[in-house]
């Protein structure tokens, strides 16, 4: 890999903003660059990095809320209201958590209030 994920993402954002080109055309150029550099396997990771860069440019964070079961809409809205409007919040159902909630911000900060973590900590020597 000659270029890092963040280099691809920053180039995409810069070209989109600078040339006022359509995002579709810039995306096509990004895919061509990935193919030319032999980095097509990184396509999904590059898209995630572009998304993260765009959210950060607006002053937001990527927030992933994981629960063992689907949340009622009212509870999901309460969680959304706890964050800033610029934050990009996604919800995921992960039955392996058993119960509770896990919140990950920008893939760096994690709040794990799941029963699985508690059980693992109780039974790990």
pLDDT in the model for residue 123: 85
* Pair (47, 83) in one structural domain: no
Range of the structural domain that residue 112 is part of: 62-122
Give residue-wise pLDDT tens across range 18-70. Answer: 767 777 788 888 889 899 999 999 989 998 898 898 899 899 999 999 999 99
Count the domains in the chain. 2
- Shared domain check, 67 and 51: no
How far is it, in rounded angstroms, from Cα 27 to Cα 33? Answer: 10
67 and 47 part of one domain? no
* pTM: predicted TM-score of the whole model, two decimal places: 0.76
- Report the sign of the C-alpha dihedral through residues 45, 46, 51, 57, in that order: positive
CA 26, CA 86: separation in Å to the nearest integer?
24
């Amino acid at each position: 890999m000659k270029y890092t994920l963040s280099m691809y993402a920053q180039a995409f954002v810069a070209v989109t903003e600078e040339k006022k080109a359509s995002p579709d055309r810039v995306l096509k150029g990004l895919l061509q660059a990935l193919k030319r550099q032999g980095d097509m396997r990184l396509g999904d990771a590059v898209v995630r990095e572009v998304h993260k860069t765009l959210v950060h440019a607006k002053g937001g964070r990527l927030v992933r809320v994981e629960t063992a079961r689907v949340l009622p809409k009212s509870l999901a809205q309460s969680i959304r209201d706890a964050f800033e409007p610029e934050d990009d919040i996604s919800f995921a159902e992960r039955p392996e958590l058993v119960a509770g909630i896990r919140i990950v911000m920008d893939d760096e900060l994690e709040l794990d209030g799941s029963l699985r973590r508690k059980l693992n900590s109780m039974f790990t020597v």
